[in-house]
Structure 1
Amino acid sequence: MKVKAPAIALPSKTPARPRTKPAEVRLDELMAAAETLFLEKGVEATTITEIVESAQVAKGTFYHYFTSKNEMLEALGKRYTEQFLISVDEAVSACAADDWAGRLRVWIHANVETYVQTFRTHDIVYTNHHHHDRSNQAKNAILDQLLEIIEGGKAAGVWAPAEPRVVALLIYSGVHGATDDIIATQTKDCAPFARNVSDACLRMLSPTQTAG
């Protein structure tokens, strides 16, 4: 009589791991590696070989996305401003929709705080590509955030600037220019400074009223 061999359980198949990372992940890691090296060594002293070795990608991957280090630096500038925009937008979105003075204060504080935290990257990416580049759509979006607050407050009767965009440009430039001063003096607590700047901006919008 033949004896049947016991059934052998076959190992279950596990999903195969992808051999390559998604393109957007590789690009993000490549740019993050470059930013870290630029901060540590400077742009000129950093080589493309060092960037790809740090990101653990082939040199061909770099040239798939960029033709040169300068082109990567320009992309890092856009990335920086987009991240800046998200940071400010998240802070403002936490305010009540009809609290226009509060939204302005938070917008100013978030700009000051984010700039203080990231100025070293800002200085690197905008050495050759200035922050006031008219084609920088992400930078313009930050200004649009402010203009939306000013126009919203005007529609609600909170303040009444004759030229909302002019006031927005003055506040935008003033906030970032003034923040350079506390960066230069290495002020550790930027909250009192942000409050003072907010008070001044509210007086600009409502000169006959107290800042509140």
Structure 2
Amino acid sequence: MSFPKRRRLEPHARRQEIIEAAERLLIERGADVRVEDVVRGAGAAKGTFYLYFPTWDDLLDTIRQRIFEAFDRAHPMPDTANVAVDWSVLLEELAVAFVDATVEMGGMHDAIFHSDFAQRRAIPAADHPVNRLTGLIRAGQRAETFAAVDPEPTARLLFAVIHETADAVAEGQDRQRALAAMRRMLRQSLGAKP
């Protein structure tokens, strides 16, 4: 029996190949993916996996950070010192982007954010969507765009609305109707103008 010859890759390229294989598999299969699946998908040895990721959680942590970084690159926060910001429009744009990104993640979303891993390794405070939303509400209040609501509990409730909208769209509900209802709830909750 002959085995295919392994390709020689630079360490950073091999690590990247493992990450990308894991992301593909997680999107397709969610939390059912194992190390063996990833190394098979990457064409790497199991030992190679552990050179780059001492534990499965280390790989998932890396993927989670990549998700946040990709979102931030695609949707950067404006430099408020140099640009006037329409906070209600920005909030709605970010909410829609979150819904779309969540749907595109498929099974990876649950594996990264709703599995045992998510319980073992909490999202860093700076990256947590509720904290980000709280900061956005406060900024909108300083600009006198949003009503005088308590930012943190309001952010928690609004994140639940945004997340449920993503779940509804992922389950096949009409995207435009779901987004319209979400936008309406965001505006009404924050006293923003339609």
* Fold match by TM threshold 0.5: yes
Paired position in structure 2 for 1:110: 97
Residues 133 and 65 of structure 1: is their aligned pair in 2 closer, same or farther, counting only changes over 3 Å? same
| Distance (Å, rounded) in 1 between the aligned partners of 2:51 and 2:93 | 40
Instruction: Structure 2 unaligned segments of length 5 or more: list them.
Output: 1-7
Tell me how far apart the structure 2 counterparts of residues 75 and 116 of structure 1 sit (CA, whole Å).
20
Q: 2-side partners of 1:98 and 1:41: how far apart?
A: 40
Q: TM-score, normalised by structure 2?
A: 0.74
2:161 aligns to what? 174
Unaligned runs of 5+ in 1: 1-18
Out of 118, 129, 137, the position equivalent to 2:117 is 129
Larger Rg: 1
Task: Specify which of 23, 38, 44 is matched with residue 51 of structure 1.
Answer: 38
Match of residue 17 from structure 2: 29
Q: 2:85 aligns with which of 88, 98, 108?
A: 98
Using the TM superposition, give the Cα deviation of residue 169 of structure 1 relative to its aligned residue in structure 2, in angstroms: 1.4
Residue identity over aligned pairs, in percent, reads 26
Taking structure 1 as reference, are residues 164 and 37 closer, same or farther at Cα in structure 2, changes over 3 Å only? Answer: closer
Q: Using the alignment, how far apart are the partners of 1:133 and 1:54 within structure 2?
A: 26
Q: 2:184 is matched with which residue?
A: 199
| Alpha-carbon displacement from aligned partner over 1:24-71 (angstroms, at most 9, x marks no partner) | x322210111232345566556552x5334323343321112234455
RMSD over aligned CA atoms reads: 3.2
Task: Tell whether the 8 Å contact from 2:28 to 2:108 is kept in structure 1 after alignment.
Answer: no
Structure 1 residue 167: Cα displacement: 1.1
User: Structure 1 length as normaliser, TM-score?
Assistant: 0.69
Structure possessing the higher relative contact order (Cα contacts under 8 Å, 6 or more residues apart): 2
For 1:59 and 1:200, how far apart are their aligned partners in 2?
48
